Copies of this chain bind each other. A is one copy, B any other.
Amino acid sequence: MHGEVAPGQALTLRGIGKEFGVSMTPAREAVRRLVAEGALFLSSSGRVSTPELTHDRIEELAALRALLEVELASRALPRAHMALIERLQTINGTVAEAVVKRDAVGYIRSNLEFHRTLYLRAQAPAILAIAETVWLQLGPTMRALYGKLRRTEPPHYHKLIIAALKAGDEPGLRLAVRSDVTQGLKLLIR
């Protein structure tokens, strides 16, 4: 999810088991779960690897993020108090740090934490769970995306999200979230 593994990276059950000090059995169960969630790709011969997403697939996942996260933000809006907004601003500071340090994993991780913190307020665990499986599927690709970004400042749309939350502006919030989750991925589908 955090882009620690590159797209197309192959994994073996024995390798995973050795890495975490367990036998093949728990490694198999973990791998099967991640395959079911779309986070790993299972070849016809049973080999597993992180997925290499096609442009079409990235477009779909971007559309899914937009659909799901706009809904989550909209549900969170009426419950977003000042304490939450302050927390979001703090996390946004962490995002900025990762940007200046050019820390891809740290950037992805704190960026997702920003979103998750907001969406937790939506009190919609089923929707959030599905949004997180989408993040999982995009993880390796997001790392590749970061390499193409030549950014030096934290994401502009995060500020728009916070402003819309403060103002209680639902249309503005929906637009800001849609733009934020769509913007980056657009770089990858051309």
- Nearest to A61 among chain B residues (CB) is B126
**Which applies to chain A's interface (DSSP): helix, strand, loop or mixed?**
helix
Residues of B within 8 A of A130 (CB): 64, 130, 133-134
Q: Mark A114-134, 1 if CB is under 8 A from B, else 0.
A: 000000000111110110011
- Nearest to A128 among chain B residues (CB) is B60
Which of A32-40, A83-91, A168-176 is found at the contact surface with chain B? Answer: A32-40
Tell me if A63 is interfacial: C-beta within 8 Å of chain B: yes
A: interface residue count bin: 20 to 34
Tell me if A28 is interfacial: C-beta within 8 Å of chain B: yes
**Interface residues in A28-86 (C-beta closer than 8 Å to B):** 28-29, 32-38, 56-57, 60-61, 63-64, 67-68, 71
Bound complex: CA of A64 vs CA of B36, how far in Å?
A: 19
Decide: B60 and A126 in contact? CB cutoff 8 A.
Answer: yes
Instruction: Give, as a whole number of angstroms, the nearest-CB distance from A127 to chain B.
Output: 6
Per a CB cutoff under 8 Å, which of B57, B67, B124, B125 touches A68? B67
Instruction: Give, as a whole number of angstroms, the nearest-CB distance from A76 to chain B.
Output: 14
- Among A29, A34, A57, A71, chain B packs the most CB atoms within 10 A around the CB of A29
**A residues whose Cβ falls under 8 Å from a Cβ of B:** 28-29, 32-38, 56-57, 60-61, 63-64, 67-68, 71, 123-127, 129-130, 133-134, 137
